[in-house]
Structure 1
Amino acid sequence: MSNILVINCGSSSIKYALLLDDHDYRIYGLAENLGTPNARISGITEGQEKFEVELGQADHKQALEVAMERLKKFHFDAIGHRVVHGGEMTEAQLIDQDVIDHIKATSALAPLHNPAHLVGIDATLKMYPDLPQVAVFDTAFHQSMPEKAYHYAIPKKLYEEHGVRRYGFHGTSHAYVSERASTLAGQKNQGGWLVAHLGNGSSTCAIWNGQSLDTSMGLTPLEGLCMGTRSGDVDPSLHHFLATNLGWDLDRIDRMLNRESGLLGISGLSNDMRTLIDASEQGNHDATLAIEVFVYRLAKSLAAMSCALPQIDGLIFTGGIGENSAYIREKVIKSLPHFGFSLDSEKNKTRGQEIRIDAGTGPMIWIIPTDEESRIAQETRQVALNALETA
């Protein structure tokens, strides 16, 4: 089980990565704008050469066929599929009809993602019927949360009959970076870690001895932090207010909360943190406010996550913002003075590299670039090997 192909089908895109055991690089690509005249696929091929191909109005199946044609010269032993919502699945699963039915059953909880994942699974099962294929769920890592962390304070029958509870997301990222940081610290999967996965989608997580005890996202990825275009937590009665006073229906409200809010909504300018920092430095009040809300909500969430941990050994920053923005990291640490964090200002200038950036006192602070493909490949490899051993 040396070479693993990882596939991530989104609502209008497909990411793939081929992890080759005997190479220090990976072959990958991104098909985007699927179903539109602007559909295209681009990426890195053998020898780290870039490519880009226009796809006309290709759908997911057609784009996958193009991607697989580009990979036909390579051998791979198994295929790992990222699946956003696995319900209460606690680990990756070898794909069979029961697993496919389960993904379909949880599609109501992730209507933009799970149906797209099923398209990718169906296509690759037909292309490679003899290869083991594995579903790796974003939600699985968080199924170690205790009941007090995942239950909403609503009638229990909504959980028992309809699965309404907190599930959490970004599981492969939180699992990868926490294991990596604890290994570098000489205490693999031991101790208490706070993780801030910061990008267009953002979440925090409390991890104790390698297990998730709480996380900021909930039933859907909308709960929790202020994000690029997502609001994060709002008063649930906002829906009633908007419907009663503005006549908005549920689809309009959902679109606003998921696509028109967060950094973009507050600033009226952009969901890109780099753009907002530049604008803030030039005196744009709304850009400054968006950053302040982002940082405050993040610090508040990390403080809340700490309640799940017996002790805090370290804080990990990851994701596009977490890995690259010294400005945001510094502001977050300053917002948590009572936790004893001590930031090394020079080390904090590092961008996108694996490094410990604390000053040597208090809990550790790490930048760990996330590698969800590596984690998905790892879990795929293990599930496939287990299946071979029990066959």
Structure 2
Amino acid sequence: MKILVVNAGSSSLKYQLIDMENESVLAKGNCEQIGTESTFTHKVPADETKNIKALPMEMQDHAAALKIVLDTLVDAEHGVIGSVKEIDAVGHRVLHGGEKFSGSVLVDDKVEEAIKECFDLGPLHNPANLTGIKACQAIMPGVPQVAVFDTGFHQTMPDYAYMYALPYEYYEKYGIRRYGFHGTSHRFVSKKCIELLGNPEHSKIVTCHLGNGSSISAVVDGKCFDTTMGVTPLEGIMMGTRCGSIDPAIVPIIMKKEGLTPDEMDTVMNKKSGMLGLCGTSDNRTIESRAKEGDERAKLIESMLCHQLTKYIGGFAAAMGGLDAIVFTGGIGENNPQYRDRVCDQLKFMGVEINYEINDKLKRGPEGEISTPNSKVKVFVICTNEELMIARDTKEIVEAL
């Protein structure tokens, strides 16, 4: 079975074609700046001669972008399949499922309507996700489409973890509550972690997805118990351009002083804050090198991030009543041994002990355990694979039809 995984953004379309027989990526790529100065990137892991690098192409909309993707997949020079008919199903990443979806589902009219109903909760992503689904339906009629929700994994949280202390009517009228994101990543790495622990019946794990967007989840017996992101992906720890959790009273204070509209303030918090707001760049590698050169603001970011990570891991461990394992994943989690080192040092009081030599080696690819045999808490670096998780869900749903 071959599955096309699609992640449609507001002006982008990322894709992977996965052969589920051996779970190998046949091709992957990205259509960027759809509707403006569009570029197309295509990679074939098994044959680099078939790659296309940032080629300027005209793409008026997502349907045009998808047609380019499908044409390339069957192209004599760059393709990996003989016909589009070889694609058995399409799995779509959908940001927000609200309280409607706790798992992945086959797309039908009711599912499309439910995705629309969540537009208010995911105004940037959900309309784009639905556009991607519609484009696939138009170009690939009859091919099963599956929606995999970023929020789905977190639907097992108890009410005392997801409710906010606001007037209850806001929850009833507008669905204001914690939803959490990166669910597909947290599910993938927590499942892998449980396997590495020897598949125990009971487990308490903290998964740290650290990248340009970052979130931390508490996972009890394979199910989400709590997470740091909220109604939107803005809450939680500091990120590349997002401020994370702040005193909510800061919002009206800044709006009044700067004369900002709600939308402008939203842009400040989502696009101009975080690492970028503090030192002018959201690139963690740049921050790391600047910190080594003695840049005070870069050093401040590193200290803030490690402090917040330690605080959330410790807090979740207390809330779960124990901790069996910590997982680091995502671009920063997988590739920054220094952060892992600093955070684990802060957690020594919980019996966390890591092998510094092994930790230093685990970056840009390899994964594994970095804790010592004596550590009371296992610590793992696990490379996330959201696309594979989406493909697995899609395969399972389509095979059950």
Q: Which residue of 2 aligns with 1:199?
A: 211
Deviations 1:131-182 (A, max 9, x none): 1111000000000000000000111111111111000000000000010111
Matched, 1:290 2:310: no
Deviations 1:205-259 (A, max 9, x none): 0001110000000000000010001000011111110122221111111111111
1:357 paired to 2:370: yes
- 1:62 paired with 2:75, answer no
CA contact (8 A) 2:5 2:16 kept: yes
% identity of equivalent residues: 40
Residue 26 (str. 1) matches residue 39 (str. 2): no
Alignment of 1:1-391 (within 5 A): 2-22=1-21, 24-37=24-37, 39-45=38-44, 47-49=46-48, 50-52=51-53, 53-56=55-58, 58-72=60-74, 73-74=82-83, 75-88=86-99, 89-187=101-199, 190-268=202-280, 270-349=281-360, 350-351=362-363, 352-360=365-373, 361-386=375-400, 388=401
Change (3 A) 1:46 1:272: closer
Query: Bigger CA drift: 310-319 or 133-142?
Result: 310-319
Q: CA RMSD in A?
A: 1.4
Q: CA 1:168–1:189 in 2, change beyond 3 Å: closer, same or farther?
A: farther
Q: What secondary structure does 1:277 align onto?
A: helix
Distance, in Å, in 1 between the alignment partners of 2:243 and 2:56 is 34
Deviations 1:58-85 (A, max 9, x none): 3322111100112243512111100000
**In 2, are the aligned partners of 1:180 and 1:188 still within 8 Å (CA)?**
no
Tell whether the 8 Å contact from 2:237 to 2:308 is kept in structure 1 after alignment: yes
Normalising by structure 2, we get a TM-score of: 0.93
TM-score, length of structure 1 as denominator length: 0.95
Q: Is this contact kept in 2: 1:3–1:78, CA < 8 A? A: yes
Q: Distance in 2 between matches of 1:280 and 1:45?
A: 36
Aligned positions, number: 384
Shift of 1:338: 2.2
- Give the Å deviation of 1:124: 0.5
Alpha-carbon separation, structure 1, partners of 2:367 and 2:257 = 49
The whole-number CA distance in structure 1 between the counterparts of 2:189 and 2:208 is 10
**CA 1:40/1:190 → structure 2, altered by over 3 Å: closer, same or farther?**
farther
Where do 5+ consecutive residues of structure 1 fail to align? none
The AA in structure 2 aligned to 1:71 is: L
Structure 2 distance, partners of 1:367, 1:106, is: 34
Shift of 1:273: 1.1
Compute the displacement of 1:189 (Å). Answer: 7.2
Give the C-alpha shift of residue 291 in structure 1.
Answer: 1.3
1:282-325: CA deviations, max 9, x gaps? 11111111111111112112122223323211000000000010
Aligned equivalent of 2:79: none
Measured in 1, the distance between the counterparts of 2:319 and 2:40 equals: 43
Mapped contact 1:267–1:289 kept (Cα < 8 A)? no
Q: Read off the aligned partner of 2:151 and give its amino acid letter.
A: T
How far apart in 2 are the matches of 1:241 and 1:298?
A: 27
1:375 counterpart SS class: helix
What amino acid maps onto 1:215 in structure 2? T
CA distance in 2, matches of 1:383, 1:191: 27
- Whether contact under 8 Å (1:183, 1:189) holds in the other structure is no
Separation of aligned partners in 2, 1:244 and 1:142: 35
